[in-house]
């Protein structure tokens, strides 16, 4: 590295000293912490993003400032690779090292070694697009990121404004594919493919209203823009954040999925209505309805990521069946995590689909879904998408020419092509996922209640346990068993045995300072009781904080 380059990093890093006693890790989805602690981290991730761009021939890299479903006082930063996917995991250890470097000198030395090891030609200059969610702390963190990016001499930082996380990933992917890549292009793409799918519905019925909880975040605001151009969908948006509500507080996909109660702003007036929730940066989507007044108007029937996955799988399988023998050759597969409800796994297996499991974190699921012609991945928390392989897509596009227009086969192929355009190929996206759910429900002529009948979820319960050191929990690769602390898995197995259809596991969260407990059993009381005994075990093995 040239002296001028070293001087540039030394000078700017003086502006962002690392706070005392902070140890950060790139985690499930980037760095997350209280926003007041993050300037130095975001500045350093700015440097990393420039280097990543340079390593990949100055392709555009994305840097997103968000703490997604976490509380409003937190913030975070994650990197989108030029493909639009998550930062290559190979670079995560470097991210951890530089985020924790205790002095400008150590920082420079780590960067110098890395640049040499990875043979990064630093002369050309990279390009990084910077997005942020609606958190107020995002503005100053974005300035820190800009300074980090530009401290790699010749690199350019482009502020693309307040966006959902999936919008930034989509834009980065489009830019590197040489396509139109502005936010309006993103909307235009959703609108065109949604309208195409609506136009292909065999018997169109009047669609009922959807009520959307925007989590007081960026997703509701973007949805408002989107629906202005869509006449085939009636959406009422609540919790836009404009009426004083706090981001993710008593609202949003994470809250609804974990608590299984209505978000603020919903109640008795909504009994039976089709409702949906986004999370804070709109990369997660869940649906729900309030079953009856007798539940007091706050308990919900939840249609989580597993149910969305099942609906998508059903629709895609139906189109492949219409195409016939050639369509049936398509390798359609599903990727889930240990959190997937056992009933959903049984359902997709009964449909004849291949199911594989991955570790929590979309970066792990995405990788496995890419191995299929059409790979559908979803975490139960509502984060997921459908990936179409290049090869299968070009086969589909070829078939569009072979089949006569208006024929069943032509329509089925056209639907699949439109789905591949509508659903975000870079990352799970609540806006595009919602449009696809809506169009499939219209296609099937189904209500949300009818969709919910696809299968009955096994009762489940999730709890968080605060412990002095969550890294003391080490699990197997699919996170279904704990290897450490020694002896805890035997104790958990002992609890599981007491319950019919019992299943439980523990894992350290990668986004919060907690150990997560998941339990499933044949009744809700049993699932609650299993979760609580496993949580007790966690406390007794690790201590409470």
Residues marked as catalytic: 68
148/305 with CB nearer ligand G16: 305
| 214 CB-contact burial (10 Å; exposed 0-12 / middle 13-18 / buried 19+) | buried
The CA-atom distances, in angstroms, between 435 and each of 195, 208, 234 are: 10, 14, 11
Is 281 annotated for ligand binding? yes
- Cα distance between residue 422 and residue 225, in whole Å: 16
Is 516 annotated for ligand binding? yes
Is 68 annotated for ligand binding? yes
Closest Cα to residue 308, out of 257, 263, 235?
Answer: 257
Please state the closest distance from residue 168 (CB atom) to ligand G16, in A. Answer: 13
Q: What is the CA radius of gyration of the chain?
A: 23
Q: How far is C-alpha 141 from the chain's CA centre?
A: 22
Beta bridge mates, 532: none
110/356 with CB nearer ligand G16: 356
Non-local (6+) Cβ contacts of 107 within 8 A are 9, 13, 44, 98, 101
Is 313 annotated for ligand binding? no
Is 263 annotated for ligand binding? no
Closest Cα to residue 98, out of 158, 37, 47?
Answer: 47
Assign residue 410 a region (left: φ > 0; alpha: ψ between -120 and 50; beta: otherwise). alpha
Please state the closest distance from residue 507 (CB atom) to ligand G16, in A. Answer: 7
By DSSP bridging, strand 274-278 and strand 210-213 are parallel
Is 381 annotated for ligand binding? yes
239/511 with CB nearer ligand G16: 511
Report yes or no: 148 and 43 within 8 Å, Cβ to Cβ: yes
Binding residues for ligand G16, rule: CB under 6 A, are 28-29, 68-69, 279, 283-284, 360-362, 379, 381, 383, 509-512, 516
Please state the closest distance from residue 545 (CB atom) to ligand G16, in A. Answer: 17
Please state the closest distance from residue 177 (CB atom) to ligand G16, in A. Answer: 23
3-state secondary structure 454-485: CCCCCCEEEEEECCCCHHHCEECCCCCCEEEC
In this structure, what DSSP letter does residue 30 have? Answer: B
Is 513 annotated for ligand binding? no
Please state the closest distance from residue 384 (CB atom) to ligand G16, in A. Answer: 9
- Cα distance between residue 440 and residue 438, in whole Å: 6
Give the CA count within 13 Å in the CB-facing half-sphere of 512. 14
- Cα distance between residue 496 and residue 401, in whole Å: 55
Is 104 annotated for ligand binding? no
316/358 with CB nearer ligand G16: 358
Please state the closest distance from residue 516 (CB atom) to ligand G16, in A. Answer: 5
Is 106 annotated for ligand binding? no
258/501 with CB nearer ligand G16: 258
The CA-atom distances, in angstroms, between 252 and each of 131, 232, 288, 385 are: 21, 25, 12, 19
Please state the closest distance from residue 120 (CB atom) to ligand G16, in A. Answer: 27
150/516 with CB nearer ligand G16: 516
- Cα distance between residue 189 and residue 198, in whole Å: 14
* Annotated binding-site members: 68, 279, 281, 283, 379-381, 507-511, 516
* Annotated binding-site members for substrate: 379-381, 507-511, 516
């Amino acid at each position: 590295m040239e002296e001028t380059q070293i001087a540039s990093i030394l000078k700017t890093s003086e502006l962002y000293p690392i706070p005392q006693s902070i140890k950060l890790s790139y985690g499930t989805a980037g760095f997350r912490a209280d926003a007041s602690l993050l300037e130095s981290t975001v500045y350093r991730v700015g440097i990393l993003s420039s280097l990543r761009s340079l390593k990949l021939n100055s392709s555009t890299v994305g840097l997103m400032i968000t703490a997604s479903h976490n509380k409003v006082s937190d913030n975070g930063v994650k990197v989108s690779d030029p493909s639009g996917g998550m930062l290559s995991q190979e670079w995560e250890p470097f991210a951890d090292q530089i985020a924790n470097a205790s002095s400008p000198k150590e920082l420079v030395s780590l960067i110098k070694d890395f640049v040499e090891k990875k043979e990064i030609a630093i002369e050309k200059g990279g390009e990084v697009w910077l997005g942020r969610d609606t958190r107020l702390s995002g503005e100053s963190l974005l300035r820190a990121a800009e300074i980090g990016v530009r401290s790699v001499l010749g690199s350019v930082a482009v502020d693309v404004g307040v966006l959902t996380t999936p919008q930034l990933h989509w834009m980065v992917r489009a830019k590197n594919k040489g396509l139109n890549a502005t936010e309006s292009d993103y909307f235009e793409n959703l609108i065109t493919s949604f309208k195409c799918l609506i136009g292909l519905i065999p018997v169109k019925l009047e669609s009922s209203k959807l009520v959307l909880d925007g989590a007081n975040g960026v997703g509701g605001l973007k949805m408002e823009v989107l629906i202005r151009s869509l006449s085939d969908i009636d959406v009422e948006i609540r919790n836009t954040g404009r009426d004083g509500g706090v981001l993710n507080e008593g609202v949003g996909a994470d809250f609804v999925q974990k608590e299984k109660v209505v978000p603020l702003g919903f109640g008795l007036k909504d009994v039976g209505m089709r409702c949906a929730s986004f999370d804070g940066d709109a990369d997660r989507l869940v649906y729900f309805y309030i079953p009856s007044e007798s539940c007091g108007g706050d308990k919900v029937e939840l249609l989580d990521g597993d149910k969305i996955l099942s609906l998508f799988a059903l629709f895609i399988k139906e189109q492949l069946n219409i195409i016939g023998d050639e369509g049936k050759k398509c390798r359609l597969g599903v990727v889930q995590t240990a959190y997937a409800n056992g009933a959903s796994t049984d359902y997709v297996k009964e449909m004849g689909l291949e199911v594989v499991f991955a570790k929590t974190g979309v970066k792990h699921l995405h990788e496995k879904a890419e191995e299929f012609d059409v790979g559908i991945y979803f975490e139960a928390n509502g984060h997921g998408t459908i990936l179409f392989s290049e090869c299968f897509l070009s086969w589909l596009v070829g078939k569009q020419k072979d089949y006569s227009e208006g024929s069943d086969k032509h329509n089925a192929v056209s639907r699949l092509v439109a789905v591949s355009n509508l659903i975000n190929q870079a990352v799970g996206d609540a806006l595009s996922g919602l449009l696809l759910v809506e169009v499939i429900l219209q296609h099937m002529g189904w209500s949300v209640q009818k969709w919910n009948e696809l299968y009955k979820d096994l009762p489940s319960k999730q709890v968080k346990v605060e412990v002095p050191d969550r890294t003391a929990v080490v699990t197997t690769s699919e996170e279904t068993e704990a290897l450490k602390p020694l002896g805890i898995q035997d104790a958990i197995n002992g609890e599981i045995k007491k319950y019919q259809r019992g299943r439980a596991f523990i894992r350290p969260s990668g986004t919060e300072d907690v150990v997560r407990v998941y339990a499933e059993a044949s009744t809700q009381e049993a699932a609650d009781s299993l979760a609580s005994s496993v949580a007790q075990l966690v406390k007794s093995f690790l201590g409470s904080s």
